[in-house]
Amino acid sequence: MALHLYIDGVSRGNPGPTGIGIVLQGPDERILQQAGRFLGDLTDMEAAAHGLLVGLEAAAADRSDEIAVFSTSQWLVRQLTGQGRAPGDHLAMLLAQTQMLLLRFDTWQIAHLPPDQNPLAVALATHAAKAGCDVETAETDPAETPRDAGDRIVLVRVVEGANTRSCPEPCGPDEVFEFGEVAPPHMCLHALAAVLDAVMACKRQADPIAEDLPVRRSCARPDCGAVFEIDFG
């Protein structure tokens, strides 16, 4: 039977102080290892990739043939299932390392798990990020430590680029803006106004938006033409 690996990554500032949480569970549902690791200042995507790397290294020591990974990062799940857009060179290198580790297993699978269904990994990652050091236990009872709305990562992707003649700050096609604890600094105010309601609904996991992701919004600037897709990170 498969090992179960639960992972989470928290970047407080994106980039900012980063913690990852890993929980390795045996086939009998017994926890074999749990840990929170502080990684310095990283982005949310880097945190997700590093969380998987650390978790897979721990799982490989068990010499199991099968593993099922559960991550709070939809971006990571999409990358490893061939549904995500090509990342930059650094992230591509991290993802290549995770794929090499996955080859140690005869069978593997990865699935998205919302933060409220992955409480121990979330609590470990959050504790490590706040403490600025590695931790072996969660700060409090993980069932009482849901991820703050500001810690949920929402990605806004440009699916249709702006009209460069009518917009002084055009968003390029496939450009990605990450909303962590703060709004991205380089997003124009018209674009921000267009997506903010959907972003905040995602952070609150509010109905009906959060259950119908991804959603799209058009830029609020007249004649801009940019279209944005909003989804969890």
- In tens, the pLDDT along 79-95 reads 999 887 878 888 999 99
How far apart (Å, rounded) are the C-alpha atoms in residues 193 and 15?
A: 23
Give the pLDDT mean for 38-53: 94
| Helix count and strand count (H, E) for the chain | 5, 9
Mean pLDDT value across the chain: 84
pLDDT for 145 equals: 47
- Report which DSSP code applies to 86: P
CA 13 from chain center: how many Å?
13
- Strands 16-25 vs 3-11: parallel, antiparallel or unpaired: antiparallel
**In the predicted model, is pLDDT for residue 104 greater than 50?**
yes
- In tens, the pLDDT along 154-203 reads 888 899 888 888 777 788 888 888 887 666 767 777 788 888 878 877 77
